[in-house]
Structure 1
Amino acid sequence: MVYNGVLSTFPKEIRLFISTFVIILSIGFFTGLLFIKETDSTTPAGIEENYLGNEEDEEATVMKFKKGDREMLTIVHTHILSMSMIFFLLGGLVWLTRLPKKWKLFLTIEPFLSVVLTFGGIYLMWKGISWFKYVVIFSGILMTLTYTCSAALVLWQCARPSRK
């Protein structure tokens, strides 16, 4: 089955539909990153404080409490499910672009590993394995980079139809 580069051969209307979807998906994805920035969870200490609280820090300007069991399970559950769907849909579009198979494989498999490492890492850090905060940062950055590359690739190839 030939699928490499088929995205750019789709009719203009379908490419517009796909582009609109990827743009709206990206607004949602990057809004999530703004939320992370807003909660000061962009540093190892910030991640730890966000999930484990800061009750013992007398100089804290905003009091944060350790998340409860139900809250943590809800965070992990909803993020793993929703991020898996996001990367499944975007990955399906990546496989229709013109790109070497090894790059497509990386762009479509890596995000799933990052989702497990990021949200599994948050859970394990919350359970007391504090060094996982570094895994969370690394996997979160890698997930964001692969998302950005994949979305840009799909949008680029939707905007530039193949010349038959």
Structure 2
Amino acid sequence: MAIHEILEVPDPRLKTVSTPVTEFDDELKTLVSDMFDTMYDASGIGLAAIQVGVPKRVLVIDLQPEDEDAEPEECNHGGHSHVHYPTKKEPRVFVNPVILDPAEELASYQEGCLSVPDIFADVDRPATCRVQYQDLEGETHEEDMEGLMATCIQHEMDHLEGILFIDHLSRLKRSMALKKLKKLREAA
């Protein structure tokens, strides 16, 4: 169990095209466990192995829906209290994922990225897609994805090709996003 540093732009390793996983061993299981720890620590919903400096075709995703069966917890932040419903962890692992049959219909989501902190922008992607992937044992699966899961898996799979979500923006919007990120870093 380890939390790794998440690479941030302009780290050139983020432009690396990741290589397929061929060994489904304890090293892979440790990598995936560390990726979940790192993602949860950063409050993310998805992470590609290259974001922690490992150029392998591995993704972890957890959209963490609110758990309707959970007991509400009372939180007290800065003098005001409110009821908080804990989220349910639904960790998903995708090894060597491939998109099959992306929809022609596009959906727009406001995306962010742990490698591009505090920057958010609307990105259009296929609204649905079928994904073929392997699990930690090397078994192959196919699954239809829609909604936020379709967006998230496409975003994470872009990382495997060395593509960041800001690469989908116009030159002007990308330039503005990078300037904003630079100002945020200078202020910190």
**TM-score of the aligned structures, taking structure 2 as reference length:** 0.25
**Higher normalized helix content (fraction of residues):** 1
Structure with a larger share of its residues in strand? 2
Q: What's the TM-score once normalised by structure 1's chain length?
A: 0.28
Higher relative contact order (CA 8 A, sep 6+): 1
